[in-house]
Amino acid sequence: MPAPLLDPRLLEILACPAEDHAPLRETADGLVCSSCGRRYPIVDGIPVLLVSEAEPTVGTEAEPTVGTEAEPAEPTVGTEAEPAEPTVGTEAEPTHVEPDPGDPGRVG
């Protein structure tokens, strides 16, 4: 493999911007997600981590990076919005405020 394009410390903290946020591995063509397989280009030494700029790689799953296996996402329990219970007597009633005759901002 040619010399790394990115500092290894930077590569350790970068993650795929897609919803799984899996680790990335450096290849000759850029950075490849270890989960979804998208390939992100490196332009002038700067990784372009935009899903809209990513290129799909061959196959649906990329090989996991050695030592950084991506764990499957666990479903989150109770995150769906539930309809609110109607509350009796909490509706705000309209109020009528008499204008102050001495108010300089009073119109009319």
Q: What confidence tier does 84 reach under pLDDT thresholds 50, 70, 90?
A: low
pLDDT at 11: 92
pTM of the model: 0.51
Q: Of 47 and 61, which is predicted with more confidence?
A: 47
pLDDT of residue 65: 40
Whether 48 contacts 55, CB under 8 Å: no
The model's confidence at residue 61, banded by pLDDT at 50, 70 and 90, is very low
Domains of the chain plus CATH, in order, are 1-68 (2.20.25.10)
- pLDDT, position 76: 47
Q: pLDDT per residue over 5-51, tens digit each?
A: 788 999 999 999 999 899 999 998 899 999 999 999 999 889 999 99
Between CA 98 and CA 104 the distance in angstroms is 15
